[in-house]
Chain A
Amino acid sequence: MTGVTVLTEGTNQLLDYIIQIEGVAEEILADRREIIDLDRQRNKTREAIRALQKDKSADKTWLCAGKMFLKIEKTKAINMLSKDFDELEKEINNVRSALKPKVSKLRDLEKKEDLKGFNLSPLSATELKSVESLL
């Protein structure tokens, strides 16, 4: 016997289906990874800003940008880092928001029921307070 396999219509369909599911699942995993990496960066940036603010010894500081060390003024460094921090925060929120439709798409492909209520917009803090004792 030679190892020739003839794909029938059914197996082709199945294959397509699996490819689709795996594709979406892969995307979700990649996004999760990205959030983690971004959060790590965010925490490092936050630590750096804090360290610069506390350090009162000199006006200038070394800053490592990519593969290069720069000696720049501390206020400037803090500014740059804060900008970075805001950017990271925004990016994380973007990825998170994009994650939700992907997850529901995956559940849809897997023929699972939609997660109930996750497309609602959250109650504000004051509104939540009024029903807090119920939760």
Chain B
Amino acid sequence: MAAPTVEKVQEIREVTRIERIGAHSHIRGLGLDDALEARQVSQGMVGQVKARKAAGVILEIIKEGKIAGRGILIAGQPGTGKTAIAMGMAQALGTDTPFTSIAGSEIFSLEMSKTEALTQSFRKSIGVRIKEETEIIEGEIVEVQIDRPATGTGAKVGKLTLKTTEMETIYQLGQKMIESLTKEKAQAGDIVTIDKATGKITKLGRSFTRARDYDAMGAQTKFVQCPEGELQKRKEVVHTVTLHEIDVINSRTQGFLALFSGDTGEIKSEVREQINSKVAEWREEGKAEIVPGVLFIDEVHMLDIECFSFLNRALESDMAPILIMATNRGITRIRGTHYTSPHGIPIDLLDRLVIISTSPYEEKEIKQILKIRCEEEDVEMSDDALTVLTRIGMETSLRYSIQLITAANLVCRKRKGTEVDVDDIKRVYTLFLDESRSTQFLKEYQQEFMFNENTDEMETS
């Protein structure tokens, strides 16, 4: 009895080990050339030339740091690449610019008020650049020599010989340094850095020249080159942290652990004010730079009127990020009111936004996207199958046909084929319904479902 259970557990583990591929994982940037012209197919982006070009222009302004506190709305039908453009912008911004992506419905939480959730996302999107400067001694240990007093007690003294490719020198060691050396288990052949101010020793790894010293060694042994240049170096590191991170470590008693548990709760406005003034002070002293990042709100029509008026206000603050929103709605009711408005966004907010619109993909573009997705998901597909899939994509939706790729690949592997062909596509097409076929099915058989609203039929039966 026990054996099958064990096997099953292993099977489940197997699944989790497979690396998962996100819906927009193939996006590497906006696919623009130096003159900001959109290439037809580049960096995972296909078509939407106009929208991408517009996004590229905005990106340049963001990089210049010129438009903080502006809003951009990406509007278009479902499946026209709104999220892809936002992802592309995020990728093109680089790692240094904070990018926060939330869905409009994410802010509705029982633990946090809507405005708090929005404020947190705003502050997650503003970076503070700070610099750390330390004097370090970096070198390879040539020799450690520790003299213990003959009596056994009393202060130890020692010598440490360090070298780089350029020079070698001897340091006299005091009691404290000897202790931290022994604690780090530093020995000849290790590459270490010693922080000059604190005396902290960090082991970077073992020298390459010592790689042949032993045959058997732990997997964690890391080999590094003997450092070049001077022994005593000045190390400058620039960090970019977000305002929200600073908020969290300074709020309440839970300290920085809250950063990792994810549950930060509400942060008091006094804390935020204090941090704002501290950061402003640093900026005055030339110790910090503000990096306005990007906040992306997908499905923005899910926000209600309170949130919109909050956004209106928040965009005007001097530390506001660039706000990018996406929606697939046309003229619809603004949530929380009885009024309708274009995109479900109040006119006064809409007035502050720059609007980029996306248009439906053409057949050629859909084919290209499906091809890219096949590569991304490591699926070999024959040309005929791709054509069939493109037709399906045209008639149903792009998302549906993308979903068929993986499914068809599984069917193909089941029959031990190497390349997905038309039959595999046909099979999964019959296995999985798309939205319109599902609707049709429901229409045909709705009286057999529970709670159908076709009440007069209920009465007759």
Q: Give the interface of A toward B (CB within 8 A).
A: 32, 35-36, 38-40, 42-44, 46-47, 50, 54, 96, 115-118, 120-123, 125, 127-128, 130-131, 133-135
Contact = CB atoms under 8 A, between A and B. Distances in A.
Given A35-B230, A134-B256, A135-B241, A122 B249 contact: no
A125 B169 contact: no
A32 B229 contact: yes
Contacts of B241: 131, 134-135
14 contacts: A32-B229, A36-B229, A43-B232, A47-B169, A121-B285, A122-B131, A123-B131, A125-B197, A127-B282, A131-B241, A133-B256, A134-B249, A134-B256, A134-B259
B230 A121 contact: no
Given A116-B129, A122-B287, A134-B245, 18 more contacts: A32-B229, A36-B166, A38-B230, A40-B169, A50-B172, A116-B96, A117-B131, A118-B238, A120-B130, A120-B286, A120-B287, A123-B131, A131-B246, A133-B255, A133-B259, A134-B249, A134-B256, A135-B132
A36 B130 contact: no
Interface residues of B, number: 36
B220 to A, nearest CB: 23
Nearest to B159: A50
B129 to A, nearest CB: 4
Nearest 5 CB-CB pairings of A with B? A39-B230, A122-B133, A117-B238, A43-B169, A133-B256
A35 B286 contact: no
Interface of B: 96, 129-133, 166-167, 169-170, 172, 197, 229-232, 234, 236-241, 245-246, 249-250, 255-256, 259, 282, 285-289
Contacts of A116: 96, 129, 238, 289
Given A40-B230, A133-B249, A121 B166 contact: no
A43 B229 CA distance: 13
Nearest to B246: A131
A125 B133 CA distance: 9
In this complex, which of B169, B230, B287, B289 has the most chain A Cβ atoms within 10 angstroms of its Cβ? Answer: B230
A120 B285 CA distance: 9
A134 B229 contact: no
A123 to B, nearest CB: 6
A121 B259 CA distance: 27
A34 to B, nearest CB: 10
Contact of B170 (A38, A47, A134): A47
A53 to B, nearest CB: 9
Contacts of A54: 172
Nearest to A133: B256
A123 B282 CA distance: 8
A56 B172 CA distance: 16
A135 B129 CA distance: 11
A122 B236 contact: yes
A76 B166 CA distance: 31
Contacts of A38: 230
Nearest to B286: A121
A125 B286 CA distance: 16
Contacts of B170: 47
Contacts of B255: 133
